[in-house]
């Protein structure tokens, strides 16, 4: 298999090189959808033989779907990555070992987070599974403002198309500063709140991942998120942090893990709850 690789980038020169170096091992057709970077991202991508296309960023789902709909993709398969996701040797080998017409229509890839220079291996999020490799014409990304997943079009409702899982991992190397990380999560908190209120109002669009506790990894994750959303405001961030950091042994990830779990599973989720409360009571 030689899939077309599609990456999203914005001011990604610190991580893009490592991502593209591994991508070139599985593909000769690489597209980088850039959001008008102001650093050396474009020149770096072109030096690795990638075709760079500029498109204004709205959200991850919209950007990925724009690429699926508009890029001159010639591959029968597509592999979607972020500019900071680096495949390891085993994952590269697993993709190259797939036949041109494999058993499944899409494949989930395991992803670990590298935060403040340390790969986090505990906390119940290591790894998370993402549908990133799929046959052209059957894959699409949810049009959500936050927590978007790829899905096989129609598969979650009609049963059409099956998915498998690949060995190896990709490392999500979060190289940005904590100032940038928290600024982005502040924006993503707004997106999550907007999604929650849209769902409650019945305004969520079709083409969404269907939560299923017995389904594929993304469906199971969405089912757990729904259970979390049913818990009381301001209580659930404390419960989630305790679950991730203590019960799922997140404390074994050292100081870097402590910072991550406090920010990701407590601060970020508490911020979402605070914004929900604000929207209900002060607007």
211-237 residue pLDDT tens: 899 999 999 999 999 999 999 999 999
Overall pTM surpassing 0.85 (yes/no): yes
What does the chain come to in residues? 283
Between CA 19 and CA 181, with CA 56 as vertex, the angle to 5 degrees is: 55
Q: Across residues 6-16, what is the average pLDDT? A: 95
Alpha carbon separation from 6 to 32, 80, 85, 198 (Å, rounded): 6, 5, 12, 30
pLDDT at 109 over 90: yes
Instruction: Tell me if the bond preceding 155 is cis, omega within 30° of 0.
Output: no
Mean residue pLDDT across the chain: 92
Confidence of residue 147 (pLDDT cuts 50, 70, 90): confident
Task: Report how far residue 276's alpha carbon sits from residue 229's, in angstroms, rounded to the nearest whole number.
Answer: 12
Q: Give CA–CA dist 221/255, Å, rounded.
A: 26
Binned at pLDDT 50, 70 and 90, residue 156 comes out as very low
Over range 152-168, report the average pLDDT: 73
pLDDT for residue 159: 40
Query: What local confidence, expressed as pLDDT, does residue 100 receive?
Result: 87
The sign of the dihedral angle between the CA atoms of 114, 116, 117, 123 is: negative
């Amino acid at each position: 298999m030689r899939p077309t690789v599609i990456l999203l980038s914005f001011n990604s020169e610190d991580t893009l090189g490592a991502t593209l170096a591994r991508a070139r091992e599985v593909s000769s057709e690489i597209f980088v959808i850039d959001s008008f970077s102001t650093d050396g991202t474009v020149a770096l991508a072109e030096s690795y033989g990638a075709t760079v296309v500029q498109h204004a960023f709205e959200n991850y789902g919209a950007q990925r779907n724009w690429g699926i709909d508009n890029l001159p993709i010639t591959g029968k398969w597509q592999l979607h990555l972020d500019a900071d996701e680096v495949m390891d040797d085993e994952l590269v080998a697993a993709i190259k070992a797939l036949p041109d017409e494999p058993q499944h229509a899409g494949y989930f890839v395991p992803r670990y987070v590298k935060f403040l220079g340390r790969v986090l291996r505990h906390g119940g999020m290591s790894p998370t599974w993402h549908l990133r490799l799929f046959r052209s014409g059957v894959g699409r990304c949810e049009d959500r403002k936050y927590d978007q997943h790829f899905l096989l079009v129609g598969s979650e409702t009609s049963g059409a198309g099956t998915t498998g899982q690949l060995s190896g991992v990709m490392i999500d190397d979060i190289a940005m500063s904590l100032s940038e990380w928290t600024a982005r999560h502040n924006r993503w908190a707004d997106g999550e709140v907007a999604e929650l209120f849209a769902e409650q109002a019945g305004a969520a669009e079709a083409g969404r991942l269907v939560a299923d506790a017995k389904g594929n990894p993304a469906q199971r994750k969405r089912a757990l998120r729904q259970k979390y959303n049913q818990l009381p405001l301001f209580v659930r961030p404390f419960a989630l942090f305790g679950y991730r950091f203590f019960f799922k042994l997140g404390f074994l990830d050292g100081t870097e893990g402590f910072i991550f779990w406090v920010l990701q599973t407590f601060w970020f989720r508490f911020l979402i709850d605070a914004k929900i409360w604000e929207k209900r009571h002060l607007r």
